[in-house]
Structure 1
Amino acid sequence: MSVPTEANAGRTDVSSRRPRTAERARTLAAHAGSATLDLPGDREEHVIPAARAVEADGSLLLLVPGETAAVVLTSRDDVAAVLHLVDVAPVAVPHRVRAHCWIAGWLSIPTGPDAERAAALLAEAAPDPTASERAGTVVRLEVGEVLVDDLWGTGHVEPDDYADAAPDPLAGHEAELLQHLAAAHGDDLYRLAIVAGAPACADRVAPVSLDRHGIRLRTGGPDRTCDVRFEFEHPVADPTELGGALRRLLHGVHGES
């Protein structure tokens, strides 16, 4: 199935099968490329964590650099803070920012064995192996409120729903997969867009997002874009199932406008 929609600001309508808002929030918490921690105080601090990891209950572990931030955090318990996450498409498309997510909660500093476990999780999650070794303060953000604003729309997530959700199983591989599709399967993507009824703005077609339910293509240029959402026959459970789902979509499925 496909759903072509206008997306002048990168926003599209929903299709019949979609990831829940809580799942999208957990995915962004773990995989969004940009994160800024907003701290309270007379001099509001906006800190970029050097490393980030997500615990099983959704709490976030952050390595916070900077002397001022460390002083704010060590002087008080349960400091209120907001983590702003920004997700950007891994391929060049118009309106490249795909999502914003704000996670509000309370900061605390792990101690004892908990601090050692937190440091180990940050070291495992850091894309830069040296990031977790940089000077800074390891903090935990306990989640109190979540707001997501993405390609699906805007929605609040209750803490319990957020804690119970899981990130999309393809999120860790999405960037590589979309870049491969853009580089090696441009003709196939173009045919899909045309079949879906988007020829008027299909001078350029690129994949903009991928999840266990399907793939979203973006056509057109800066002034006028059109998004087309294609759903897999069945949701995929992990990357090993994705190859077959994509082959059936690219070579055997005709979309509906």
Structure 2
Amino acid sequence: MPPLAERIRTLAHTASATKVTVDDVPYPVSGAVDGRGRPVFLVRPGETLHRMREDSVVALTLCATRMLGETAHPRGTLEVQGWVQAVPENEARDAAVAVAAQCADEGLFEAIERYGAPDAPRLLRLDVGQVVYLTGDDSGILDADEYLDATPDPLAETAERVIAHINGSHRTQLSLGMARLLGRPAGQVWLWELDRHGATVRVDATLVRVAWDRPAQSGRCLETALRGLLCTC
């Protein structure tokens, strides 16, 4: 398995912000994480969060899901606790791109073009204090340094494309391969996670981890390792 902090950073990289909680009151938001792993989110004029002062203590929830057929299944939830900051003007475009990758919104353009105007949408981010994570049966807390010093799996974007392709076109081969590995019929099979250290396959309601002989060093190596799991007979 990848190191814990890397797993959580990778999960955050693919997650969407769903709410910000201030003084135990939740507010829905659209957001994601930036290149350094800090949550960024969009707020509009008239919303309570638009008037929020900097350095307010908040908790932002990030949710990562996996589409299995037509249904979204939760992969993990992260609660990032920290202090609100305004995204600086020279970083606003990059922050908007990060948010748009998870949830496109026309307000992002206005937040850039009318930056600083009192009646314009604002881009805010969190100065991370700690991250509470819940992924399957695993839960715990990472402090800011553990979380921010980690980097996402360098093959994460390739892995997400491969997962979508396998689940869309090659589930039969995956099912046969898992049946061969488990020594029994595999039932409903989906590729759940994929990284340079191995693959996690959802067999009915159980997650089965399959480790590679050695870590994949490139997208091509990752695809080669995965082909060994598929049954092409």
TM-score between the two structures when normalised by the length of structure 1: 0.74
Q: In the superposition, relative to structure 1, how do residues 154 and 53 fare at CA in structure 2: closer, same or farther (>3 Å)?
A: closer
In structure 1, the partner of 2:89 is: 115
The aligned counterpart of 2:28 is: 47
Runs of 5+ consecutive residues of structure 1 not aligned to the other structure: 1-17, 253-257
CA distance in structure 2 between the aligned counterparts of 1:66 and 1:204, rounded to whole angstroms: 47
Give how far 1:155 is off. 1.9
Show CA shifts across 1:155-194 (max 9, x none). 2112111111001223324443112112332232112221
Does 2:46 align with 1:67?
yes
The letter of the residue matching 2:19 is L
Point out which structure has higher relative CO (alpha carbons under 8 A, 6+ apart): 1
Aligned to 1:149: 134
Q: TM-score, normalised by structure 2?
A: 0.81
Contact residue 40 and residue 126 of structure 2 kept, 8 A: yes
Partners of 2:65 and 2:72 within 8 A in 1: no
C-alpha deviation, 1:71, in angstroms: 4.3
Q: Output the CA distance in 1 between the equivalents of 2:93 and 2:159.
A: 25
Q: Is the 8 A contact 1:106 1:142 kept in 2?
A: yes
Candidates 207, 215, 232, aligned match of 2:199:
215
1:101-151: CA deviations, max 9, x gaps?
A: 1110000224xxx3222x111233222374521552111201001111113
1:37 maps to 19
Aligned to 1:91: 68
- Residue matched to 1:183: 168
Structure ranking higher in strand proportion: 2
Q: Find the counterpart in structure 2 of residue 132 from structure 1.
A: 108
Structure 2's unaligned 5+ residue stretches are 111-119
Task: Tell me the distance in 2 between the aligned counterparts of 1:208 and 1:38.
Answer: 28
RMSD: 2.7
CA apart distance, 1:47? 2.5
Q: How many residues align?
A: 220
Provide the C-alpha distance between the structure 2 equivalents of 1:60 and 1:95, rounded to a whole number of angstroms. 22
Shift of 1:66: 4.8
Q: Which amino acid aligns with 2:38?
A: S
